[in-house]
Chains A and B, each alone.
Chain A
Amino acid sequence: MMNNNAILAVEAHSLVKTFGDKRAVDGVSLKIPTGSICAVLGPNGAGKTTTINMLATLLKPDAGDVKIFGYDVQRETQIVRQLIGLTGQFASIDEDLTALENLTIFGRLYGYSRKDSKCKANELLEEFGLSDAASRVLSKFSGGMRRRLDLAVSLISQPPLIFLDEPTTGLDPRTRSQMWQTIHNLVKCGSTVLLTTQYLDEADQLADNIVVIDKGRVVANDTPDGLKRSVGNSSLHLTVKDAVNTANAAQIIERMLDAKVQLAEASELIAPIDNIDKLTDVLTTLKNAGIALSGVNIVQPTLDEVFFALTGEGSKDKKEEN
């Protein structure tokens, strides 16, 4: 018998899916160890959802193969379906029904008795802070509540592998961080999570491993730190109150960060910063030198920059905007 940890939750080899003459997924390979979070990062239309759909038994790949916990998706489909939970991009719950009814029906479908599914439903509603809204019809739910209920549905059968297709797109920051916490908790309980996202910070926050997809191909597969290193560092944006001090400040920063300083505007300085801890020293030194500041900002590399670096493409305009 193989060691549990040695079994990969997801093992996909050169998946291909073509729609018409568009190769939506073009040779994607993935390996996700059990108990980790993998983020598939990419812009709209990169092939994220198509990839997830193939992994979650919804779409048959044109080529390549997928194993979920060692079970072949195409030959052992029903077994795979007992091991996964899928929360799609579009809320798939019933508008006309209440939260409790929705969950109970899915509980029944997963094979729980009437009593057990009701019990399970109430438990999940409690967990997701939806108890107060249990008997409310879904059409009166906010977007965040729907998303949470949708996730709750995937968790009824306590699957060891959970697919989340853009779990936080369109959510407000508060609900978003709640969702992140939920995802962290899932992994703490032993689940493996594969999520897609368009946001680098989300992947950074959650994932053990990030797979960057562009035009149906994997362009990078690395840890968040590794990925960021490959793109470049965060940068320090610093605005000097009195433009007279700009040159002086630039000198200090260059010396302390051991990096080249760019002058953006008359009084704004930009420098790469690899260790955020150094910021304190920079600020202290500037203060001691009597240079007053009107703004300090640490800017993380954006997804657009990641793409620019990884693919040599990406929208120039957006890059400047950032």
Chain B
Amino acid sequence: MTNTTKFKMTNTTIIPAAERKLKNRIGVGTAIRNTCTLAFRALLKMSKNPEIFVDFVVLPVMFTLLFTFLFGGAISGNITNYLPIVIPGVLLMSSFTNCTTAGSKLREDVDKGTTNRFKSMPIARIAPLAGSLIADLIRYVMGGTTVFVTGYILGYRPEAGILAVTFSIFFMMIIAWGLSWVFAFISMCTKTISTASAIGVVVMFPLVFLSNAFIPAETMPSGLQYFVLHYNPLSRVVMVVRQLLTYGTIGANFWLTLYGTLAILVMFIPLTLIAYKRKA
């Protein structure tokens, strides 16, 4: 950029307000288009920040290797026998880790003033929020794929085949996406981004470890076992994935977790939107 730059203003005449065709509402089509544009923006940003790949490539690989070699021998006698137990668990954990950070990008926009700009524009109110969270879907698919590829390298061959693997990844994507609205809501309510991620960690660790994600519930003391199997919804998610991968079937737990996710979405999409509007 040289210092001699001059503005070349093309003198396009502005159309006066009175001569414009204006509508006082945003149609569904516009809302969807806005959302897609902003999802594209989020993905574009993601592709320019390689460090964000740590979340959905490095972490899943690390979790898989760590848990397999650490617990494999102790729990299942050897690594190969442990893989069918641990892979669904790692899938859950990496998706869950990703969705706790769902709100941070949004908060960044709010804190930086980008949201103010969005607010002054004739676009759907939900678009910045939905766009960012929809872009997250890609992250869950990438994270899930990484987990299965790592498992495959270690010798994991799910009985139900590749179709079940694909289905599991998408199932987990939907569950994680539903949960990400909860964390998006939390990040809109806290004072700073770091508080929100701290809450994410505090919620995530007990929920993931007090489930059957890494350790079969049968080995736990009976009181804990009861909690793990009946009260921790994440256990049911893991059971769905295990059943899918082993038998290629879906059962009652599948619908239960799906309805649960739907309930979360119905509750938290409006809540998050309200919190977002208030914050921005």
Contact = CB atoms under 8 A, between A and B. Distances in A.
Contacts of A279: none
B120 A56 contact: yes
Contact of A127 (B8, B18, B113, B127): B8
Contacts of B8: 126-127, 129
B119 A57 contact: yes
Given A93-B114, A132-B1, A185-B9, A82 B14 contact: no
B191 interface: no
A174 interface: yes
Contacts of A311: none
Nearest to A126: B8
A160 B121 CA distance: 14
A129 B7 contact: yes
**On chain A, which size bracket covers the interface?**
35 or more
Nearest to A148: B7
A97 B122 contact: no
Given A79-B22, A189-B13, A97 B48 contact: yes
B112 A108 contact: no
Contacts of A81: 120-122
A82 B121 CA distance: 7
Contacts of B118: 109
A81 B123 CA distance: 9
B114 to A, nearest CB: 5
Nearest to B118: A109
B124 to A, nearest CB: 10
Contacts of A92: 112-114, 116-117
Of A86, A92, A101, most buried by chain B (CB within 10 Å of CB) is A92
Interface string A165-199: 00000000010001001100100111100000000
B10 A127 contact: yes
B44 A86 contact: no
Contacts of B37: 105, 108-109
A76 interface: yes
B202 interface: no
Interface string A126-160: 11110011000100001001000000010000111
Given A78-B23, A82-B20, A158 B15 contact: yes
A145 B1 contact: yes
Interface residues of B, number: 45
B14 A105 contact: no
Given A81-B122, A142-B1, A160-B17, A111 B113 contact: no
A138 B121 CA distance: 22
Nearest to A81: B122
Given A34-B16, A145-B1, A58 B114 contact: no
A123 interface: yes
Contact of A182 (B7, B18, B22): B7
A189 B11 contact: yes
Given A90-B112, A101-B44, A78 B17 contact: no
A127 B7 contact: yes
Contacts of A84: 120
A94 interface: yes
B230 interface: no
A79 B15 contact: no
Given A56-B120, A111-B30, A185-B7, A190 B13 contact: yes
Given A83-B17, A94-B45, A105-B37, A88 B113 contact: yes
A129 B15 contact: no
Contact of A189 (B12, B41, B113): B12
Given A105-B41, A182-B7, 5 more contacts: A83-B20, A97-B44, A105-B44, A108-B37, A109-B38
5 closest cross-chain pairs (CB), A and B: A129-B5, A69-B17, A190-B14, A90-B113, A92-B117
Interface of B: 1, 3, 5-18, 20, 22-26, 30, 33-34, 37-38, 40-41, 44-45, 48-49, 112-114, 116-123, 127
